[in-house]
Amino acid sequence: MKPFTYERARDAVAAARAATRPGAKFLAGGTNLLDLMKIEVETPTHLIDVQDLKLDRIEKTREGGLRIGAFVTNTALAADERVRRDYGVLSRAIVAGASGQLRNKATTAGNLLQRTRCPYFYDTNMACNKRKPGSGCSAIGGYSRQLAVVGSSDHCIATNPSDMNVAMRVLDAVVETVNPEGRTRAIPIAAFHRLPGNTPHIETTLEPGELITAVTLPRPAGGTHVYEKVRDRASYAFALVSVAAVVQKDGSGRVAVGGVAHKPWRVEAAEAAMPNGAKAVTATLLADARPTGDNEFKVPLVERTLAAAISQARTA
């Protein structure tokens, strides 16, 4: 690890202000950041630990939804009684990811900001526009079985590895932040993660120093909640493809897909076809798919995983 200095922030605005310093980064659970610091993919010179900011609560909102503090652990979020009852897809997605040890430490905001697991991002001997802007992309033309099939660019074909984010997207979560001047804003999850374009190193719409304080969920959407994940092992592996779905009794519903793009992939226009089944939905959802030879299997896999999710919802 490269040397760094460490501080514990006392309040959110002070933390945001400290983060404007060049080389500074927020530290929450650390399960992703420290991993990347050990292999020097991440080389912050200053860490701002946010554990004392009292962002570890889950509370009701006035609108009848939930406000989840940025520092709430993945375990605490998945185990919350209200989340299990009203937002089951979120609990399901979280427990489908990582291990018990990691979920005890990883946080809500940290999971939102989780970096890609593209092997070329991790290997500092390889070209990667995300790790070193302008250096090229070794993944394109490389081993791309795990990588993106839609929304990718000529500069990056990495995927967002999170399960939680896919559920947050299907639930229309909103990311609440505070900036170094103390101004707050609410970013709909759809506008939070970016596609790679020609700046794959910029992964979210957060501004420098902007600190995530909470994620809010709107009123419960009802319906049957399903998270279907396909991976190489039965447990403790990243998704090849995952589907988060909220399906209503009349067959209508919403769906977001993980493991296929630089962000949780949802196309609202595709959802009109939900009562017609997985094939019709997937045709619109992945209309612009541009898979590689290694990962073209993901296109039919999305359709089949969605079919499994819909059938699971019908029999629930």
CA distance 242 to 228: 6
Nearer to another protein by Cβ, of 110 and 151: the residue is 110
Q: Residue 98 interacts with another protein (CB under 8 A)?
A: yes
Nearer to another protein by Cβ, of 19 and 270: the residue is 19
Which one among 18, 41, 47, 178 touches another protein, defined by CB under 8 A?
Answer: 47
Residue ranges in 18-37 that form contacts with another protein under rule CB under 8 A: 27, 30-31, 34-35
**Least distance CB 171 / another protein (angstroms):** 15
Pairing assessment for the beta strands 24-27 and 46-49 based on DSSP bridges: parallel
CA distance 265 to 273: 16
Nearer to another protein by Cβ, of 62 and 233: the residue is 233
CA distance 265 to 51: 31
Q: Residue 308 interacts with another protein (CB under 8 A)?
A: no
Nearer to another protein by Cβ, of 44 and 180: the residue is 44
Q: Residue 99 interacts with another protein (CB under 8 A)?
A: yes
Helices then strands, each counted (H, E), the chain? 11, 11
Nearer to another protein by Cβ, of 19 and 175: the residue is 19
If you ran DSSP here, which 8-state letter would residue 281 be given? H
Token couple for 232: 């190489």
Q: Residue 2 interacts with another protein (CB under 8 A)?
A: yes
Q: Residue 185 interacts with another protein (CB under 8 A)?
A: no
Residue 285's identity, in one-letter code, is: L
Nearer to another protein by Cβ, of 3 and 134: the residue is 3
Residue 54-93 contact track with another protein, rule CB under 8 A, x = bound: ---------------------x--xx----xx--x--xx-
Token couple for 242: 């995952």
**C-beta separation of 65 from 24 below 8 A:** no
Within 10 angstroms of residue 176's Cβ, the number of other Cβ atoms is 20
**Least distance CB 87 / another protein (angstroms):** 10
Nearer to another protein by Cβ, of 221 and 280: the residue is 221
Crossing angle for the helix pair 278-285 and 298-315, to the nearest 10 degrees: 140
Token couple for 241: 């493809």
Q: Residue 157 interacts with another protein (CB under 8 A)?
A: no
CA distance 247 to 28: 34
**C-beta separation of 267 from 278 below 8 A:** no
Phi, psi of 167 (to 5 degrees): -70, -40
Residue count (the chain): 316
Q: Residue 135 interacts with another protein (CB under 8 A)?
A: no
**Least distance CB 312 / another protein (angstroms):** 11
Q: Residue 95 interacts with another protein (CB under 8 A)?
A: yes
Which one among 61, 104, 199, 216 touches another protein, defined by CB under 8 A?
Answer: 104
Pick the piece of the chain touching another protein (CB under 8 A) from 59-67, 102-110, 191-199, 302-310: 102-110
Pick the piece of the chain touching another protein (CB under 8 A) from 45-53, 110-118, 181-189, 252-260: 45-53
Residues 244-263 as b or e (16 or more Cβ within 10 Å = b): bbbbeeeeebbbbbbbbbbb
Q: Residues in the site for another protein, rule: CB under 8 A? A: 1-6, 27, 30-31, 34-35, 38, 47, 49, 51, 75, 78-79, 84-85, 88, 91-92, 95-96, 98-102, 104-105, 233-236
